[in-house]
Structure 1
Amino acid sequence: MSTSQGLPPERPEPAGRHFEPDLRPMTRINLRPIASPMPVGFFAVAIASVIVGSLQLGFFGDDAHRAVALTILPAFVLQFLVSVLAFGARDVLAATLMACFSGTWLASSLVLAVDPPGGTKVLGVLNLVFACFALLMASVAQRKRAMWFVLCVAVPRFAVAALFNLTGVEWLSSLSGAFGLLLAAVAMYAAFALMLEDMRGEQVLPIGRSGPAHTAVEGDLAVQLRNLERQAGVRRTL
């Protein structure tokens, strides 16, 4: 049955959700002048981890706490900036991780610099909570292998640091420092690999992406537009 204007009848929408079969004809791409901020974020993790790990391993003197605090403070600024840029790039995992890392570095820097009463145990609780957070993040970040490897090392590093802060057992400090240097090595590799990939337009060092993280780099436009109508900023509510 046609309408009075002679138009073809409207097809009833199927039950449930309605998806556009192909969004490419109606899609316009606006490029934003933003590069990937993740190399900066991982480099900041690496540098701060080396400084704190060196302190825990006894490479610095007992009076170096304030110097270490001032040295790791820039990591807070850099990773906070990375978090803001990652939110703008719609990467919620990277943005959340970098924001929480930046807050942890800020708190650690302030406690080391001011040395308030009970600060060590409070810092231990903070490290323990961050270790739990990193474990939760690792459980959903397997397909973003660079981030996943960093998180897999960050979990034991912050967990051991928490135990040292809460118990004061000296050998835990050395173990935490060793994990800190390992975290720095993994973060440095991830940062360098991502930077090379961005500069050359192809993967140079293996990162191990899979699933959506792989198709985001290797997939065509149709893959990128899949489920676009349900993305943040397009759907009605978050």
Structure 2
Amino acid sequence: MARPAACGLSVLGCAWAGNALVTRSGPPGQPGAGVAVFLLSVAPLMLLLSVAAIPGTPLFSVLLLVGACRFVLTGAYEAGGAALLRTAAGWTGVALAAFALYGGFALLLEDSAQHTVLPLGRRGRARTSLQGDLGHQRERAEREAGV
């Protein structure tokens, strides 16, 4: 997986954990400004990582884009927006969960079969590292950080 996609998915996972902590500290069932600020602050970072992931793994780019949209919708609702925003955020979350399930299942099948089973849309180095030989995987290794 390309580094921007991996970084973006890590940010997405940590954002969910941070969202849970911020939500837990607020009043139950009530929109909160703290949650709104948190979600609306994370969304631009996810958008940037989504753009960075396009060249290597467009599937993860779309996943991060949908996640950012959900955070914007939820943040807008938490900031005092209409209940329609909460509903839209919920349905966006359903789409995000289905998309993430597909991606996770595709990666699991790919890992066990050692080749692409379900399309992930890999391009460039992301595709070559999976489908190429060991030489393709090592060609830039000596220029990697820490090597």
Q: Tell me the TM-score normalised to structure 2 length.
A: 0.86
Aligned with 2:74 (options 158, 161, 178)? 161
For the residues of structure 2 that align with 1:102 and 1:151, how far apart are their CA atoms? 11
2:22 pairs, out of 111, 122, 126, with 111
Instruction: Write out per-residue CA displacement over residues 95-118 of structure 1, whole angstroms, 9 at most, x where no aligned residue.
Output: 5334323332222222333325x9
What is the aligned partner in structure 2 of residue 100 from structure 1? 11
Which of the two has higher C-alpha Rg? 1
- Identical aligned residues as a percent: 34
Q: Distance in 1 between matches of 2:111 and 2:87?
A: 36
- For residue 61 of structure 2, what is the aligned residue in structure 1? 148
Determine which of 41, 45, 62 is the counterpart of 1:133. 45
185-194 or 220-229: bigger deviation? 220-229
Task: Verify the 8 A CA contact 1:190 1:207 in the aligned structure 2.
Answer: yes
3-state DSSP class of the match of 2:118? coil
Q: Secondary structure at the match of 1:205?
A: coil
Q: Report the residue type matching 2:24 in the other structure.
A: A
| TM-fit CA distance, 1:181 | 0.5
CA distance in 1, matches of 2:117, 2:96: 21
Higher helix share: 2
Write the letter of the residue equivalent to 2:111.
D
Alignment of 1:193-232 (within 5 A): 193-232=106-145
CA contact (8 A) 1:111 1:119 kept: no
Aligned to 2:34: 122
Q: Encode CA deviations 1:35-67: one digit per residue, 9 max, x unaligned.
A: xxx9xxxxxxxxxxxxxxxxxxxxxxxxxxxxx
- Scaled by the length of structure 1, the TM-score of the pair is 0.55
Q: Which runs of 5 or more structure 2 residues have no equivalent in the other structure?
A: none
Alpha-carbon distance between aligned partners in 1 of 2:100 and 2:35, rounded to the nearest angstrom: 23
**Alpha-carbon distance between aligned partners in 2 of 1:127 and 1:145, rounded to the nearest angstrom:** 23
Unpaired segments ≥5 residues, structure 1: 1-37, 39-90
Shift of 1:155: 2.0
Q: Per the alignment, do residues 162 and 132 of structure 1 end up closer, same or farther by CA in structure 2, a change over 3 Å counting?
A: same
Mark the CA change 1:106 to 1:96 in structure 2 (over 3 Å): closer, same or farther.
same
